[in-house]
A and B are shown apart, each in its own frame.
Chain A
Amino acid sequence: MNVEKVARPRPAGGTELEIWNLAATVVDPEVPVVTIEDLGVLRHVELADDGGVIVQLTPTYSGCPAIDAMRDDVVSVMTEAGYSEVRVDVVLAPAWTTDWISQSGRDKLEAYGIAPPAPRRTDGKVNLGLGIRCPRCGSLHTRQSSRFGSTACKALFVCQRCHEPFDYFKEH
């Protein structure tokens, strides 16, 4: 199986960097503080021989409807910037992981009130969850109130210290 530990880096320069930076302005429709670059959903950009633009995105969860909005938004920003031929390919492999969310993305999630995902361990024998920190008061004294939340990527937690409920972006 194809596993990548880190998100794809930005292109080094030229038109592809320009295309990447444009695509990277698109935000998650459900969590509008993080961009598709922060999430690791933006996988690749390319200027085709005929001058068209190809952008590759990968969905977070198989059924997540946000990918449709992200794709439309990428087409919009490209078109507005003057690229008339835009193709957005949605790719499934390698499968998306929360390990691809950038540090900046994690900071933005926390500031927005969503606890960022813990690192995903795949080498150990036991699937042991780490303590999840309350994004409001910083306490580690929290408990899970529901394993599923308002979107496919989140679970619900409650802080035992400040008593506020909050979303946790599940490690995946």
Chain B
Amino acid sequence: MSHTSNRSISTAVTAETIATAGVVAPESVARYAIGLGDDALILAQRLGEWIAHAPELEEDVALGNIALDQLGHARSFLTYASSAWGKTEDDLAYFRDESEFLNRQLFEQPNGDFAQTIARQLVASVYFEMLYTSLTKSTDPTLAAIAAKAVKEVSYHIDHSTQWLFRLGLGTTISRERMQRGLEAVWPFTAELFSPDPLTEGLEGIAVNPSSLRVDFDRVTQQAIADAGLTLPTTPAVRGGGRSGIHTESLGPLLAEMQVLARAHPRATW
């Protein structure tokens, strides 16, 4: 992206103005953006469930803020994606059914207890940071711009999850046990993040090959888990398939809650 002339000062990208600025995603890029947007959207919705239920007020605020950042990433990706078909972010978020969602299964998993949510946040924040860092080099300027903004925010989320990992792992016997159980509940869903992604096919230079992130992810998470005095889980991986629209039983109820208002009052605005 250059800003040598007034007209190309920067890529016009936002949840609201991608369409008016005339940025249209090619269909294959749009499908890829849906996958990225769905990961962020579904995680945001899950994290939002903690508001007023977290162990302390500061965590209501923290998880709510992290959810808001994730929602911002989802809006950018889905608005860009929707431009390919002349739709809006709301069409994609509220009027697709379960099998049309392309998020990885990790993000739809129930929150469990606070430790399990922290375990999922550890995996999610480290994964997102690596993914977005890599995506800033995408030859698609819109994806690169969204990623460059998002990567700064998810770096802060890593701090949050690792600090809790240490606090719980090095805390009391009970907090340690629950943190370990949380990691074990989440770990079967980590392998899917790095498995071949059908949405990246034909997008060399535009999309990130997920397997390229695995080595760094393992190094960072294994170190953090060891530093917290915990054990790397050996629970076997689930089959996955989120990027092809295959989901666990947890996604349906989440979507029902997220979509009910928009479907009851289509095209309502406020």
Q: Are A152 and B10 closer than 8 Å at their CB atoms?
A: no
Contact with A along B130-172 (1 / 0, CB 8 A): 0000001000010011101110110010011001000000000
The 8 closest A-B pairs by CB, nearest first: A63-B72, A62-B72, A90-B14, A93-B145, A146-B58, A63-B68, A148-B62, A148-B65
Between A46, A88, A148, A149, the greatest number of chain B beta carbons within 10 A of the residue's beta carbon is seen for A148
**CB of B16 within 8 A of chain A?**
yes
Q: A44-B9, A87-B20, A93-B145 are in contact. List 20 more A-B contacts (CB 8 A).
A: A2-B3, A2-B10, A43-B10, A56-B12, A62-B69, A62-B72, A62-B75, A63-B71, A64-B68, A89-B17, A90-B12, A90-B14, A91-B10, A91-B12, A93-B10, A93-B11, A93-B149, A95-B152, A148-B65, A149-B65
Give the chain A neighbours of B6 by CB distance below 8 A. 44, 46
Q: Are A92 and B10 closer than 8 Å at their CB atoms?
A: yes
Nearest chain B residue, comparing its CB with the CB of A59: B14
**CB of A1 within 8 A of chain B?**
yes
Q: Are A91 and B11 closer than 8 Å at their CB atoms?
A: yes
Q: Are A93 and B69 closer than 8 Å at their CB atoms?
A: no
Residues of B within 8 A of A (CB): 1, 3, 6, 9-14, 16-17, 20-21, 58, 61-62, 64-66, 68-73, 75-76, 136, 141, 144-146, 148-150, 152-153, 156, 159-160, 163
Smallest CB separation, B155 vs chain A (Å): 9
**CB of A160 within 8 A of chain B?**
no
Smallest CB separation, B180 vs chain A (Å): 24
A93 touching B61 in the complex, CB below 8 Å, given contacts A43-B9, A56-B9: no
Q: Are B13 and A93 closer than 8 Å at their CB atoms?
A: yes
A148 to B73, CA, bound (A): 18
Give the chain B neighbours of A67 by CB distance below 8 A. 14
Smallest CB separation, A105 vs chain B (Å): 19
Q: Are A62 and B76 closer than 8 Å at their CB atoms?
A: yes
Contact of A64 among B1, B17, B72, B156 (CB under 8 A): B72
Give the chain A neighbours of B141 by CB distance below 8 A. 93
Interface of A is mostly: loop
Give the chain A neighbours of B13 by CB distance below 8 A. 90-93
Give the chain A neighbours of B12 by CB distance below 8 A. 56, 89-91
Smallest CB separation, B115 vs chain A (Å): 18
Q: Are A1 and B136 closer than 8 Å at their CB atoms?
A: yes
Smallest CB separation, A128 vs chain B (Å): 13
List, sorted by A's number, 17 A–B pairs whose CB atoms are closer than 8 Å: A1-B144, A43-B10, A56-B9, A61-B68, A61-B72, A62-B69, A62-B149, A63-B69, A90-B13, A90-B14, A90-B17, A91-B9, A93-B148, A95-B145, A96-B149, A146-B61, A147-B62
Contact with B along A27-46 (1 / 0, CB 8 A): 00000000000000001101
A122 to B225, CA, bound (A): 26
Q: Are A152 and B58 closer than 8 Å at their CB atoms?
A: no
Smallest CB separation, B55 vs chain A (Å): 13
Q: Are A92 and B136 closer than 8 Å at their CB atoms?
A: no
Give the chain B neighbours of A146 by CB distance below 8 A. 58, 61-62
**CB of A53 within 8 A of chain B?**
no
Give the chain A neighbours of B144 by CB distance below 8 A. 1, 93
CB proximity to B under 8 Å, residues A119-172: 145-150, 152, 156, 170, 172
Smallest CB separation, B233 vs chain A (Å): 27
Smallest CB separation, A52 vs chain B (Å): 13
Q: Are B72 and A2 closer than 8 Å at their CB atoms?
A: no
Smallest CB separation, B20 vs chain A (Å): 8
